[in-house]
């Protein structure tokens, strides 16, 4: 049984954007500003470094009740006892995450186009859908769906959906109006001069819509 | 209980060197030439691509009784049912490999310097020791140990040791004389014009010494 989780404001960490401040300090500020769930993502670092960062983040996040998911590396998620994992279409399938991490793990899957909808199986707890808007963070990102394309795909998904790709305070209302249950950001928080204020502004935009 | 395995001629695959011929065709030729154990290594590819290559290699190797180990990615090793895994000092520790892969998995650990000897714990079944000679395959390789340094380290290791780094047919006799139980090669087979003939020549050099 997967515990309840809140996708409202979903932070994906970026190793380069958080390098100066440190990933733990960045996440601490972001959570103080209202981030509800964190995904640790580093496609280039070693497994050992990822595990060390993950353990430090768990020590911060677990007392706050904010779940930590590990991107791609199911072995690292298992080793550190993370709350779950997030996999993309080039990673191991969500069924493998369920097998390795057990029934209580939160398992997320990225969907970037309609032909991938069939990869959402019973192992998946939520979907990361995007990129919604054009984004410069991921060099190999798929084409932006736009609000119409996003909304059309979202209607075909019965699970909770977090939108990702180019999301800002300004377009958060349109993102939620397009059917997202939450907004996932990388640069909007990781690259912000003040990650806590950036998270607070996003959180405020979400609350304003939901009021 | 870990099954018996033969470290005599240990092939580590390289994605670039095997790209033209294909990793499965390269390994098939190498095994026909006498390779006794195979490590699938690709630090840059996706988990899904690694798993696909691993499954294809298992279909080839399992009927031949040649074990397949996966480098670094314990989750991929688990997902494909590999015979074991090999971890370096920047990867997850061997104890995590043992937990994830179970008591029958073959677990190898890389050692490049004496200060790492303490990382050899009861989870480890064999040690990959090197680089013995200078090598151009790994851009971030540690300094070469040389035969004297290798022999001194090898004497402090009670487990079977496979030597790696710059090994050729010509220096295989000196490698075994320095205490190696087997030779591990990347370029000597993966970059050879004829991987089967290259493996046969190495195998012949090993047999000549052991006669």
Q: Assign residue A177 the CATH number of its domain.
A: 3.20.20.70
Q: Do the domain assignments include residue A113? A: yes
Looking at residue B138, its pLDDT comes to 67
pLDDT tens figures, B164-173: 999 999 999 9
Q: Do the domain assignments include residue A4? A: no
pLDDT at B120 over 70: yes
- Beta carbons within 10 angstroms of residue B81's beta carbon: 13
pLDDT at B139 over 80: no
Burial class (CB in 10 A: 0-12, 13-18, 19+), B20: exposed
Q: Which residues of A touch B90 (CB under 8 A)?
A: 46-49
Q: Which residues of A touch B110 (CB under 8 A)?
A: none
B138 in catalytic set: yes
Q: Do the domain assignments include residue B62? A: yes
Residues A78-95: what's their mean pLDDT? 98
Q: Do the domain assignments include residue B46? A: yes
B contact set with A (CB within 8 A): 46-49, 51, 72-76, 78-79, 89-93, 96, 100
Instruction: Answer yes or no: do A47 and B76 touch at CB < 8 A.
Output: no
pLDDT at A48 over 70: yes
Cα distance between residue B85 and residue B101, in whole Å? 8
Model ipTM value? 0.95
Exactly one of B41, B73, B98, B203 is catalytic; name it: B41
Looking at residue B127, its pLDDT comes to 98
pLDDT tens figures, A120-133: 999 999 999 999 99
Query: What φ, ψ does residue B185 adopt, rounded to 5°?
Result: -130, 150
CB proximity list for B168: less than 8 A, separation 6 or greater: B188
- Give percent of chain B above pLDDT 90: 93
Q: Do the domain assignments include residue B3? A: no
Question: In a mutagenesis test of the B interface, which of A78, A81, A92, A102 is the best target, namely the one with the most B β-carbons within 10 Å?
Answer: A92
Looking at residue A138, its pLDDT comes to 67
Q: Assign B92 to helix, strand or coil.
A: coil
E strand residue ranges, B97-175: 106-111, 126-129, 161-164
Q: Do the domain assignments include residue B2? A: no
Residues A171-175: what's their mean pLDDT? 97
pLDDT tens figures, A62-77: 999 999 999 999 999 9
Q: How many domains does chain B have?
A: 1
Tokens 């851009």 belong to residue: B139
Cα distance between residue A130 and residue A107, in whole Å? 17
Position B193 confidence tier, pLDDT thresholds 50, 70, 90: very high
Q: Do the domain assignments include residue B1? A: no
Exactly one of B98, B110, B154, B203 is catalytic; name it: B110
Range of the domain at A91: 9-210
């Amino acid at each position: 049984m997967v515990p309840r989780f809140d996708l409202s404001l979903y932070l994906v960490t970026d190793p380069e954007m958080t390098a100066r401040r440190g990933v733990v300090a960045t996440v601490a500020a972001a959570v103080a500003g209202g981030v509800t769930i964190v995904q640790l993502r580093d496609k280039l670092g070693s497994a050992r470094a990822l595990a060390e960062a993950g353990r430090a983040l768990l020590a911060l996040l677990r007392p706050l009740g904010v779940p930590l998911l590990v991107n791609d590396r199911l072995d690292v998620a298992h080793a550190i006892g993370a709350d779950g994992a997030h996999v993309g279409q080039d990673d191991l399938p969500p069924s493998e995450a369920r097998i390795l991490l057990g029934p209580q793990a939160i398992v997320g899957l990225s969907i970037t186009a309609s032909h991938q909808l069939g990869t959402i199986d019973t192992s998946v707890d939520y979907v990361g859908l995007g990129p919604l808007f054009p984004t410069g963070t991921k060099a190999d990102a798929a084409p932006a769906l736009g609000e119409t394309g996003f909304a059309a795909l979202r209607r075909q998904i019965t699970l909770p959906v977090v939108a990702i790709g180019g999301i800002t305070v300004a377009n958060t209302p349109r993102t939620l109006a397009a059917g997202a249950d939450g907004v996932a950001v990388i640069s909007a928080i990781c690259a912000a001069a003040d990650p806590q204020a950036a998270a607070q502004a996003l959180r405020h935009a979400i609350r304003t819509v939901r009021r």
